[in-house]
Amino acid sequence: MSGRTPSVPASVPASGTGTSDGTADTGFLDAEGVWRQAGCDLSWAAGRAALFLDRDGVVVEEVDYLHRVQDLTLIPGAAELIAEANRRGIPVVVASNQAGIARGYFGWDEFHQVQAELNHRLNCAGARVDLTLACPHYPEHPDRKPRPGMFRKAGQMASLDLGRSWVIGDKASDLEAARAAELAGGILVLTGHGAGHRERARDLATPAFRVAIENSAADARWLLNELGAGRER
């Protein structure tokens, strides 16, 4: 299908309707057409290192262009990782490319329904995503990974310490975006598309950007010790 300009359904507030402190849990589209949804007042997150997560292939099972609630399946251990981050006071941010919208495969209404169900299932597991960003643009946009726009927006919204934050993703582009945003490191998980991105991910490692590879998010709980270290209490 050819690309199209993403439209705003009635269920999604237009740009500018979200509150400045991030308390608009219904979500909104910003001026660049990126979806932002805060799970709570974000003021508590100021100065903290965040756990950034890709959504498809990291938190939920990869299905091409997920847009139906019945196709949503949590990856084992993902909710538990998020819940533990919540308990430790580590902000959890999901940053997801959603090119299926620009390509005409589904719309914001379907995305919104999947997000609502995902948040419900996480809540039932005692887990909460503090901030979600989704970029619908394709093929290129400053907010589309591997560009760092979504990471920088999250940092600005919640006053995060990006320099101590990490990302967990299933594509090298997740880590590339994190490196461009000057995060501390990234973990490539082998769920989703991860198995095909190992070499590219390893090549992204620098003295300033650490790279690790794990089987799944469940195996990345060691990262929480690093994210919580050095925080003022």
Residues annotated catalytic, as ranges: 54, 56
**Which amino acid, one-letter code, is at 152?**
R
Which residue blocks in 159-220 are alpha helix, DSSP H?
172-180, 198-202
Residue 120: Cβ-neighbour burial (10 angstroms; 0-12, 13-18, 19+): exposed
SS3 31: coil
Q: In what order do the strands lie in the sheet with 185-189?
A: 28-29, 35-38, 131-135, 92-97, 51-53, 166-169, 185-189, 210-214
Cβ-contact 106, 69 below 8 angstroms: no
Helix (H) or strand (E) holding 97: strand 92-97
